[in-house]
Each structure stands twice: as structure tokens, then as C-alpha cells.
Amino acid sequence: MTGQIKLTGMVLVSMPVGDYDRRLTIVTKERGKISAFAKGSRKPTSPLLGCSQPFSFGEFTLYEGKSSYNVVSADISNYFAELRNDVESIYYAMYFCEFTCYMTKENLEAGEPLKLLYMTLRALSKPSLHKKLVRRIFELRFLAVNGEMPQVENCVLCGREEMLNAPKGWFSPSEGGICCEECRRKRMQEPERDGVWISTSTIYTMQYILATPLEKLFTFAVSEEVLAELTGALEQFLAKHVGHKMKSEEMLEIF
């Protein structure tokens, strides 16, 4: 079926095509990730100039052809202009968009990923929030949205919860979550097993990120020690379960 449709979404990627056009990758609530052409959007007088920029969020009117979409118009409610005035914020926003682009699928509803991305970019614009923490919250919550999050409520191997009373736990990406001391010792004979010690405070932080409503997700701070542990655990988990290094990660390494 062809014709005009309206989709709520955000531009993730904007690539020049030909002399005046752009090809957009948009994550949409209704149809997941789509590609659409914004014809003439590179002309200074084009009405599509603004909506064809990365981070543009709103309602897109598209012509749906047999094999592609074309942007007809857009009602943009947030351009996230404040992020464009800070180089570090731009790099983080680019990473969040690339992560979303890689993790979302075509022709599948993406309401939760879109909402998470939107809330993350809003959090990124707040000077009071640590950008590195915003990144880890986004990554862990996105894993949950995709059904790939680690088990942090109890031991992933034996199911015991009393381990949370210990000062620290063993986080194993290979096993898929935290392990109690007894289960960890059983795995000591298998040197290929990866893992990292994390404190109970870090475990509770991960539980909070996975369970709290999105509207309250970016409302807390953690110590440098907890942030470091959270970073180490998630980097190992992402390497194991996502297995793809985003190109924009290289830009974040300078901060």
C-alpha cells in the first residue's frame, strides 16, 4: 500500500545524497527504524532543512512508496539545540543515536527505545548530571528494553538472594549476571570465564536503573567508585552480548 502516513520519531542519521538530498535514518514509535529521503533538504531555503538534522524529534509526514519513504513535511517539537553548543554533548548524543540505530529493527514498534532515547537526550542537556553516568544508565536500560539485561536480583546460577547482604558480588557477563561466592568458586577452575567484582551499592544501582520508571530514571547520582564499577561491568557485558563497537565510542574516549 502506498500513500501518506504520519509517524512519531527522531532522526538518528542524516547522510547527503546527490546534490541536494539527504537520506535519513529515523527511529519511529510505530514502525521502528526506517530510512527516508528528504529531497531538496540541503538547499538553504528548503522547508525540510531543519527536520533533516540529527536529534530532530517530532511527527513526520511521509509518502510511503513501494520500496522507500519520502519526507513530505515534519512538525518538530524538539531539535535539542542546546546540545549543539557543546562538543562533548554532541559526541554523547551521536553515540546514543548510533546505539539506538544498531539495536532497533525495521518494521517493529519502537515506542520504548524512542522514549528512552528522548529522555536520555533531555538528561544530557542538564549540567548537574554526570554524562558518563547518563551513558551507563542508557546502555543498561536499553538492554532491558531489548530483553537482554543482566540478572542482578539474585544469583544467576543458584537463585539465592542472600548474597546481596555481602559487601560485594561477582558480576559475570558469560553467566549473564551476578553470582554468589559459592557459585563463583565453582567456576574458578574455568579460566576462560570472565567477570568483575562489584559492590552491593553498584548492584543496587543496577537494580534501580532496570526497575524505575523512565520519568524518574535520570534523577540520581553515584560515587566515582560506583560509576567505575558500573562502567567496568557494562563494558564487559556489552562486549559479550552485543559484540559491536560503535564508531562514535572513539570520540568519547577523549573525555
- 38-55 residue pLDDT tens: 999 999 999 999 999 999
Alpha carbon distance 243, 237 (integer Å): 9
pLDDT of 193 strictly over 70: no
Mean pLDDT for the stretch of residues 106-124: 96
Mean pLDDT for the stretch of residues 49-65: 96
Query: SS3 for 224?
Result: helix
**CATH code of the domain containing 21:** 2.40.50.140
Instruction: For CA atoms 70, 73, 76, 82, give the dihedral sign.
Output: positive
- If asked whether residues 91 and 208 sit together in one domain, one would say yes
Distances (CA, A) of 75 to 14, 48, 72: 17, 10, 11
**CATH code of the domain containing 218:** 1.20.1440.120
pLDDT of 249 strictly over 70: yes
> Any residues with CB less than 8 A from the CB of 95 and at least 6 apart, and which?
135, 246, 248, 249, 251, 252
Alpha carbon distance 142, 113 (integer Å): 7
- If asked whether residues 67 and 2 sit together in one domain, one would say yes
- If asked whether residues 41 and 136 sit together in one domain, one would say no
- If asked whether residues 93 and 48 sit together in one domain, one would say no
Indicate the DSSP class of residue 79.
-
pTM of the predicted model as reported, rounded to 2 decimal places: 0.94
- If asked whether residues 37 and 73 sit together in one domain, one would say yes
Residue 242 Cα to chain centre, angstroms: 12
- If asked whether residues 14 and 102 sit together in one domain, one would say no
- If asked whether residues 51 and 139 sit together in one domain, one would say no
Q: How many residues does the chain have?
A: 255
pLDDT band at 191 (very low <50, low <70, confident <90, very high): very low
Cα–Cα nearest to 198, from 218, 178, 175, 214: 178
Q: What is the pLDDT of residue 217?
A: 95
Q: Which has the higher per-residue pLDDT, 1 or 246?
A: 246
- If asked whether residues 45 and 98 sit together in one domain, one would say no
Distances (CA, A) of 58 to 54, 61, 80, 231: 12, 10, 11, 32
Residue at which a domain ends, from 79, 114, 140: 79
- Percentage of residues in the chain with pLDDT exceeding 70? 97
- If asked whether residues 140 and 197 sit together in one domain, one would say yes
Residue at which a domain ends, from 79, 99, 131: 79
Q: What is the pLDDT of residue 188?
A: 62
Residue at which a domain ends, from 52, 79, 106: 79
pLDDT of 10 strictly over 50: yes
Cα dihedral 214→146→250→49 (10° resolution): -70
Alpha carbon distance 213, 6 (integer Å): 27
Looking at the 3D structure of the chain, how many domains does it have?
2
pLDDT of 165 strictly over 90: no
**In terms of residue numbers, what domain contains 245?**
87-255
Mean pLDDT for the stretch of residues 130-147: 97
Strands (E) across 104-242 are located at 168-172, 177-179, 196-199
Residues 22-31: pLDDT tens digits? Answer: 999 999 999 9
- If asked whether residues 128 and 41 sit together in one domain, one would say no
